[in-house]
Structure formats: structure tokens, C-alpha cells
Amino acid sequence: MDSDAKWESRLPKNYRDIISRSDSASYLNSLPKEGLYNHFCNHPTIIDNGTKSFAIDKKSGKSCYMIGARGLEIEHVEKPQYWQWKSLPVSRFSEVAELNEVWFLHIKGKIEKMMLPPGTTYGVYFVYKLTENISVFRRVPVELSIDFNGQVKGNGPNNYLDPLHPRQNDRGDGWREIEMGDFFIKHGENDRLVFMLKEYDTKTRKNGLIVEGIEIRPKHG
């Protein structure tokens, strides 16, 4: 019991709510608290009907979320001539969105009731990969921004999804990422976060982009 109490204190305050939103709730409820903590650290847990995932950051012990492509508002994603849904072994989600052809990009999402720990700076990251036509994304910039409780900030308009761009990073899990902005949690309230990627160069055809999602995780250092 003492061990269970110790490990429960390391779990996020809303861990029972997280479990209830997972398709694997019965399995997660069967785990001792230490096993549950280690599971969250090593296996992102899919929640909210497959649209999000939850995990615990190994280094800090704090909560992480990812909103999958199915949980994002992607302009024209319902039109198969522009986007298609597909499964990839490297994705934690059952489906990702692959860009067939568009003349502008507009991807938006939001998350509420995160119950993140106070006194923590979080980063927001667009997680993606490129299959072809990388040269387009080397010369076409995207605008990245976040709105945290009404305060808008971001990395501005001069960001590139080009793998050689200094602001993007190889995650080591088959995906790349670029930071959209960061925010500081003061009190750990049910905060509201809105994030957006925009690109309106309507003279340039874009394709070959695969969207896994947008991740919110604590920044180290």
C-alpha cells in the first residue's frame, strides 16, 4: 500500500479521468500504480476515441498530450482530391492525414482541460513527415502560432518544413517536428490552448506532407 501511495503521488491528478477516456481502461485499471506510471512513460495512451494521446515525460514526470490528425481542423481534409487518410506503422494513431495536392495550408486545433502542472513551461510542436517534393517546403514558409488563454505568440511566418531548417528536429521515432510556440503554466487550471499552421502561397502547389498531429510537452532547461 505504501508503494502504491508513493507511485500514485507521481501520477497526474487527473489520471483517473485519462483512464476513463481510453479504450484500454480495463487493462490500465488492473495495473498497480508503479506499473501504470511506467506504462504512461513508455506507451502513449490513446484517448478520446482515437483523436488524442496522453503520456508522461520520462525526464520531468509531467504530462504530455498529442492531438492526432483526426482531432485537428485541416482545411479541405474531407475532399479526397486534396487529402487522404492512411495508416502508418510508425504512427501511434490508427490514421494520419497525407496531403495529395493543395494550393494553401490551414491546420488548426485546440485542447482544453489539460490539467497541466503549475510552474512549468510547455512547448507546442507540429509533428509531420515529408514523402516527396521537399523542395517546395524549402522555399515556401509557414506561419506558426499558438493562443494560450487569449495570449497569442509563436515563431512567426518564416518557418520552413524543410528537414535542413534549424527550427525543425528529427524526433527519432520516424517523424519530424517544428516548434509552434511555448507557454507557461501558472496555476495548473483547466487552461485553453489553440494552435495554428498557415501557408497562403496560392501560386505554389503543395503535396507530400503527412500530418501525425500536434504535441504539447514540457520544455527541459
pLDDT at 156: 66
Q: What is the pLDDT of residue 18?
A: 96
Q: What does each C-alpha distance from 194 to 3, 54, 173, 176, 198 come to in angstroms?
A: 38, 18, 25, 21, 13
What integer pLDDT is reported at residue 189 of this predicted model?
61
**CB of 71 within 8 A of CB of 51?**
yes
Alpha-carbon distance 216 to 195, whole Å?
10
- Residue 188: pLDDT band (50, 70, 90) is low
Q: Which residue has the cell 487522404?
A: 84
Which pLDDT belongs to residue 133?
Answer: 62
Q: Where are the alpha helices (DSSP H) in the chain?
A: 2-10, 15-20, 25-30, 33-42, 134-139
Does position 42 have pLDDT exceeding 90, yes or no? Answer: yes
HEC string of 16-53 equals HHHHHCECCHHHHHHCCHHHHHHHHHHCCEEECCCCEE
pLDDT at residue 168, as a whole number:
87
Going from the N-terminus, what domains does the chain have, and what CATH number goes with each?
1-43 (no CATH), 48-218 (2.60.120.260)
pLDDT computed for residue 114 by the predictor: 75
Pairing outcome for strands 96-99 and 83-86: antiparallel
Give percent above pLDDT 90 in the chain: 67
For 44, the grid coordinates are: 502513449
Mean pLDDT rounded to a whole number for the chain: 91
For the full predicted model, state whether its pTM sits above 0.75: yes
- Tens of pLDDT along 192-217? 899 999 987 878 888 889 999 999 99
**What confidence tens digit (pLDDT) does each residue in 64-106 have?**
999 999 999 999 999 999 999 999 999 999 999 999 999 989 9
Average pLDDT over residues 100-128: 90
What is the spatial distance between Cα 159 and Cα 167, in angstroms, rounded to a whole number? 7
Report how far residue 194's alpha carbon sits from residue 55's, in angstroms, rounded to the nearest whole number.
20
